[in-house]
Chains A and B, each alone.
Chain A
Amino acid sequence: MADKSVLSRRDFLKVMGAAGFSASLPLLPQPKGSKDISKTGQELDSAGWAPRPFWVKKASEPTIEIDWEKIQRFDARSTVLNSDNFANLVGEERVKLLASTKADNEQKRILANMPGYTLKDYALHAASLSQINKGRSFLGLRQTATPQDRGVPDWSGSQDEAARILRVAMRHFGAANVGFVELNENTRKLIYSFDPDGKELVFEDVPQAYETDEKRAIPLSAKWAIVYAVQMSGETIRSAPTITATQTETLSYHRGKVIQNSTQEFLRGLGYQCLGQSSPNALGITPAFGVLAGLGELSRLNRVITPEFGPIVRLFLMITDLPVTTDQPIDAGIMRFCRTCKKCAEVCPASALSYADEPTWQVKGSWNNPGHKAYYEDSVKCYTYWQEQAGSECSICFSVCPFSNKDKAWVHPLAKATISLLPVTDGFLRTMDDAFSYGAQEDPTNWWYLNLPEYGVDSDPFS
C-alpha cells in the first residue's frame, strides 16, 4: 500500500512536464481580438448580417419602381380586414351572410371530423390566436431598468455596432431576419396615418413617445424603422387552406409580439425608445419596409418573398431612436421570376391574384396604396373566399410558391441561384417545380405525425 503513494522519478518528471506546459499556455501568442475567433465563414459582418448566398445581390433601388410623389400616408382602416371597411365594400347584408356561412361551416366540419378542420385543429388555432394581442403595445411593457435607473450612462457605440447588437439580440429573440430603414421625408409616408384601431399616428417634436385616446406620437428623433421577419412553418402551411395551416400564421403573430416586447425592453435597457405595433399589421406598411431593408423582394403575391425562407414569413415593424446602420434593397431575381411563374395566380381559388405579365401602377381598390408598380391583389375576393369557403386564412399562394422550398436538397439552392443569374431558365424551372409535385396540398391529418422542430421552423434554412 505504501509503495503506491510514492511517486516514481519517471512519473514525477511527467507531472512536472505537463504542469510546465499548462503554465506556459497563456504565454503563447493569442488570436488577435474577438473578431478573429471565427474564420469558419459563419461570422457576422460589422452590422450583424449573417452571410447570405452569393446570388443575393445588394441593389441601389428595389426591384419595383417607386414614385414617392404619388405615395400618401395610408389609413390602416382601409384594408379589408377592417370590418367596417369590408362592410362598406360589400354591404352589411353580405357581411352578415358570410359570417353565418363561416359559423355554419365550422360546426359542420368539426362534427364531420373533416381533415384540417377537426376540433383539435380549431383548438390549436384558437390557442395561438388567444395570444397575439395580449401584452402588445405601442410603448412596450416598460418594466426593464433603464441606464438612468441603474445610475449609468446610456449605451453608446457606432451605428454599425448598434445595428449588430440589435440584430443579434432580435435573432436571439426569434426573428429570422432583421433590417433597418431610415425614416426620411419619403419613408415616413410608409407609416400609417391611422392605426387599425383608429388612433392617429403623428410625428411630433417631443423627446418621448406618448399615447392618448386619440393618437400615438412618434418623436422626430425616432428616425429608424426596424423591420423583421418571423418564420412560419413551411411543412404546416402545405396543408393550406385548412385551420391546421392557418394556425402557423397566428403562431407567428404571437412570436412576432414576443420579439417586439423583448426588443422594446432591450432598447429601454440600453437607454433608447422603441415603438411597436399596437396590434398585428399596425404602425406601417411592413412589406414596403421589408423591401427597402433588403429582407426580400415584392412579388406577384404583393407580399415579400425572402431569398432564405421564400414567402413563409410574417413581417413586423418597430421604430427606434437608436441610430443604426441602414440596409439596402436586394435583387435575387425573385420579382423577375414572378413575371414568368404565375403559379400562385393559377392556383388562387378566389382568382384574387394578378395574371398580368408586368406589374402596374394601377391599384385594384382602396385597400391598396398607390405609388409603386406591383401586382395588386383583389383583397375583397380573397377575404370573401376565406369567409365563405376556406373558413380559415387561405395561404395557398404561399404554399405553392417555388421559393417556399427548403434548401436541404441541393437542387433548391441551385435553382434559386439559377433564377438569380440565368433568367432565361425561369420558364423551365417553373415547369420542373410542377413536375416534382412541389406545392401539392399535403394531407392535414399527417401533420399531427410530423417530427418538426420548435415552432415547426428551421432556424438554419441552409442546413
Chain B
Amino acid sequence: MDENNYHIIKIYKRSWLEWLAWLLWFLMEVFWAQNAIASYREYHARAGLTFWAIFVLILLAGAIVFVMRRIKIMHLLHEQEIDNEKH
C-alpha cells in the first residue's frame, strides 16, 4: 500500500498511572461541571459561578500539563528520529 494513502496515528505509551490520572482529571471536570449547571437549577447563581471557576481552573491545569507533556514527547520523538537517521 502506498504510504501517501493513509495516516499513521501514534499513541505515545504512557504508564497506567498516567492514564488513571487523566481519568481522574476527566471525572473531576464532570463533577464540577455538573455542580455548576445544577447550581443554576437550584437558583444558586453565585455558587454556580464558583463551580465554573473551579472547572475552568482545572481545565487549564490539565491543558498546561497536556501541552508540557506533548512538548516533552515531541522532543523525545525528534531525538529518536535523529538516532534512527544516524543508524
Contacts and interface: CB of A to CB of B under 8 A. Distances in A.
Interface of A: 235, 238, 405-406, 408-411, 435-438, 440, 442, 450
Given A409-B47, A438-B44, 9 more contacts: A235-B43, A405-B44, A409-B34, A409-B38, A409-B42, A410-B35, A410-B38, A411-B51, A437-B47
Contacts of B47: 409, 436-438
A405 B42 contact: yes
Interface string B6-35: 000000000000000000000000010011
A410 B41 CA distance: 12
Contact of B46 (A405, A408, A409, A437): A437
A450 B43 contact: yes
A67 B50 CA distance: 46
A408 B41 contact: yes
Most buried by B among A235, A410, A450: A410
A395 to B, nearest CB: 17
24 contacts: A235-B43, A405-B42, A405-B44, A406-B42, A408-B38, A408-B41, A408-B42, A409-B34, A409-B39, A409-B42, A409-B47, A409-B51, A410-B34, A411-B31, A411-B35, A411-B51, A435-B50, A436-B46, A436-B51, A437-B47, A437-B50, A438-B47, A440-B46, A442-B43
A408 B47 CA distance: 13
A450 B46 CA distance: 16
- Interface SS, B side: helix
Contacts of B43: 235, 238, 442, 450
Contact of A436 (B31, B38, B50): B50
A10 B39 CA distance: 59
A438 B38 CA distance: 14
Contacts of A235: 43
B22 to A, nearest CB: 21
Interface of B: 31, 34-35, 38-39, 41-44, 46-47, 50-51
A238 B42 CA distance: 11
Nearest to B32: A411
B47 to A, nearest CB: 4
B72 to A, nearest CB: 35
Nearest to B43: A235
Contacts of A440: 46
A440 B39 CA distance: 14
A432 to B, nearest CB: 10
Contacts of B44: 405, 409, 436-438
Contacts of B51: 409, 411, 436
A362 to B, nearest CB: 38
A99 to B, nearest CB: 35
A405 B43 CA distance: 10
B55 to A, nearest CB: 12
Nearest to B41: A408
- Give 5 closest A-B pairs by Cβ, nearest first: A409-B38, A437-B46, A408-B38, A436-B47, A409-B35
Contacts of A450: 43
A397 to B, nearest CB: 19
A437 B44 CA distance: 8
B26 to A, nearest CB: 15
Contacts of A437: 44, 46-47, 50
Nearest to B34: A410
A411 B39 CA distance: 10
A405 B48 CA distance: 13
Contacts of B41: 408
A10 to B, nearest CB: 48
Nearest to B46: A437
A442 B42 CA distance: 13
A410 B38 CA distance: 8
A437 B43 CA distance: 12
Contacts of B35: 409-411
A120 B44 CA distance: 25
A39 to B, nearest CB: 27
B31 to A, nearest CB: 6
B66 to A, nearest CB: 25
A455 to B, nearest CB: 16
Contacts of A408: 38-39, 41-42
A281 to B, nearest CB: 30
Most buried by A among B31, B34, B39, B44: B44
Contacts of B34: 409-410
Nearest to A408: B38
A183 B51 CA distance: 48
Contacts of A438: 44, 47
A410 B34 CA distance: 7
